[in-house]
Amino acid sequence: MSLPHPDTIPSLLEGIARDGYAVVENFFPPEKIALLAQEAKQLQLEGVMRRASTGKNNGTQTDAAIRGDFIHWLQTDNPASPDITPVQQEYLHQMESLRTSLNANFYLGLFELESHFAIYPPGTIYRKHLDQFQGFEERQVSCILYLNKDWRHEDGGQLRLYLDGMAKQPYLDIEPIGGTLVAFLSGRFWHEVLPAKRERTSLTGWFRTRTAGLAA
């Protein structure tokens, strides 16, 4: 089994403590990133991916002008499920290590991860949004693992992270390079996905509490 670089979780914890967000390269080995990307593509070819919606409960809507990705949820509540592949199990194991480290360092009370594959066709976006729904604050830490091979700046598709909340500036544009993990406090950082010239793939997840428990 190939293991992630040992400095990835400490670097991530340092960034969260200092800035509320972290961008860590090589969070997962390249050969595992390639396998995850292949699995996402296979799900797309099989017609399993579904167009993502926005909102919650009776307020959900599907509008490609707001959010254009297609998603497939992992059964993170049952890592032993036959639907969870070996490489997905390795991803979940690494994320479990991250969960316990976040709890140990920040006393967040995180108890589960929800995660899905996301594929953005060329030209699609996800407009500026917050990962916490109004009145539902269980999502505490957002994590995005990029699965894109040989991504170049001119391909677009950057994650734009707004560093001071609602203001348009300043912001940080993050390249969706394969193996990079972005983590940030879900209730603090507005963000959006910029259009790309090629298909853009990721594993996106949220560490959740049973009740709201984090003051940003």
Could you tell me if 69 and 124 are in contact, meaning their C-beta atoms sit under 8 angstroms apart? yes
Confidence band for 165, pLDDT divided at 50, 70 and 90:
low
Neighbours of 191 (CB within 10 A): 23
Task: Express as a percent the part of the chain with pLDDT over 70.
Answer: 90
- pTM of the entire predicted model: 0.91
How far apart (Å, rounded) are the C-alpha atoms in residues 157 and 201?
10
Q: What is the DSSP letter of 7?
A: T
pLDDT in tens, 5-39: 567 899 999 999 999 999 999 999 999 999 999 99
The CATH number of 18-46+69-208 is 2.60.120.620
pLDDT in tens, 118-147: 999 999 999 999 999 777 889 999 999 999
Q: Where are the domains of the chain?
A: 18-46+69-208
Mean pLDDT of 71-83: 82
pLDDT in tens, 60-74: 788 889 999 999 999
Confidence band for 215, pLDDT divided at 50, 70 and 90:
very low
Whether a cis peptide bond, with omega within 30° of 0, leads into 4 is no
Task: Report the SS3 class of residue 77.
Answer: coil
Helix (H) or strand (E) holding 201: strand 200-208
Confidence band for 153, pLDDT divided at 50, 70 and 90:
very high
Helix boundaries (H) for 22-85: 30-45
pLDDT in tens, 84-99: 999 999 999 999 999 9
Q: What Å distances lie between residue 111 and 10, 99, 107, 149, 151, CA to CA?
A: 20, 8, 11, 32, 33
Nearest CA to 83 out of 27, 143, 42 is that of 42
